Every structure is written in structure tokens, then in C-alpha cells.
């Protein structure tokens, strides 16, 4: 991931977590989400079945703030972001999530909160999940 041409975060094998924070989100919800992200069995075992989590493969986590995930697209032709948390609260919970992930033993990298970044992804599968708690 680059911000103004400088790599700010990268991961090899592992997970890219695009993290959107909505109104009403709190530490308990962040903890539940981290538990789900870190324990989610999306990596193949020796039989080719999705049976392993990021820690079991020795992988890492790249966490990128993504406020557009909080978009309300139900009506009209322009997204509304009224469901998104205030930027200061979103950044606080983003930092909390990242700190807890790193403390859990998963190598964790990040982008810059609210920056205009170029995110490159090699999606193996493709396997993409929208995790909600």
C-alpha cells in the first residue's frame, strides 16, 4: 500500500482487512471482530480445504481504514455516509483494533488513517468475506 508513493504497510501471505467504523461501534465490537478475523479459517490445509486461520499459516494482517464500507447505498445514486462514525471516533477504534491485533501475536501492518492510499491486492481464490459482528 502506498501513500504519496511511499509504502506504508505490506504483508506477505495473510489477510487484508478493510476496516470501516460505524456509529455505535465500540471496543467490545472491535474485540469480537478481531476474534473473528484472527480465527476465521480461510487458508487451505494439506487437503485443500479452508481449515486454517492466519496464525496457523504464520501469516500477517494488513489493516486499512475504509470509511466507504459504512456507506448507505439503499436509495439514490450517491452514497450517504451518515452511518459512519465521526472521524475522531473511527480513528480511535481503528487504532484500538490495530493495537489489539498486534498484541495478539499476529504480525500487523497498517496504512495511514484517512489517507488517500493506493492499495494493491493479490487475491488468492478469489476469496473475499465481509465480516460483521
Parent domain of 35:
2-110
Residue 40 in any domain: the answer is yes
Residue 124 in any domain: the answer is no
Q: Please report the pLDDT score of residue 12 as a whole number.
A: 86
CATH number for 32: 3.50.80.10
Number of domains in the chain: 1
The alpha carbon of 78 is separated from its chain's Cα centroid by a whole number of angstroms, namely 24
Q: What is the largest CA-CA distance in the chain?
A: 47
**Sites in the chain below the pLDDT cut of 70:** 1-4
Residue 46, CA atoms < 13 Å, CB-side half-sphere: 0
Task: Identify the active-site residue in 67, 97, 108, 110.
Answer: 67
Residue 64 in any domain: the answer is yes
68 is catalytic: yes
Residue 120 in any domain: the answer is no
Residue 121 in any domain: the answer is no
What pTM, to 2 d.p., does this model score?
Answer: 0.91
Amino acid at each position: 500500500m502506498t501513500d504519496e508513493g511511499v509504502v506504508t504497510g505490506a504483508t506477505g501471505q495473510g489477510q487484508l482487512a478493510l476496516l470501516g467504523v460505524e456509529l455505535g461501534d465500540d471496543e467490545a465490537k472491535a474485540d469480537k471482530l478481531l476474534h473473528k478475523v484472527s480465527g476465521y479459517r480461510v487458508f487451505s490445509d494439506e487437503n485443500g480445504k479452508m481449515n486454517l486461520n492466519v496464525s496457523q499459516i504464520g501469516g500477517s494482517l494488513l489493516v486499512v481504514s475504509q470509511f466507504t464500507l459504512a456507506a448507505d447505498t439503499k436509495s439514490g445514486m450517491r452514497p450517504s455516509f451518515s452511518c459512519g462514525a465521526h472521524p475522531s471516533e473511527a480513528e480511535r477504534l481503528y487504532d484500538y483494533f490495530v493495537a489489539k491485533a498486534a498484541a495478539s501475536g499476529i504480525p500487523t501492518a497498517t496504512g495511514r488513517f484517512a489517507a488517500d492510499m493506493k492499495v494493491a491486492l493479490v487475491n488468492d481464490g478469489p476469496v473475499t468475506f465481509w465480516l460483521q459482528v
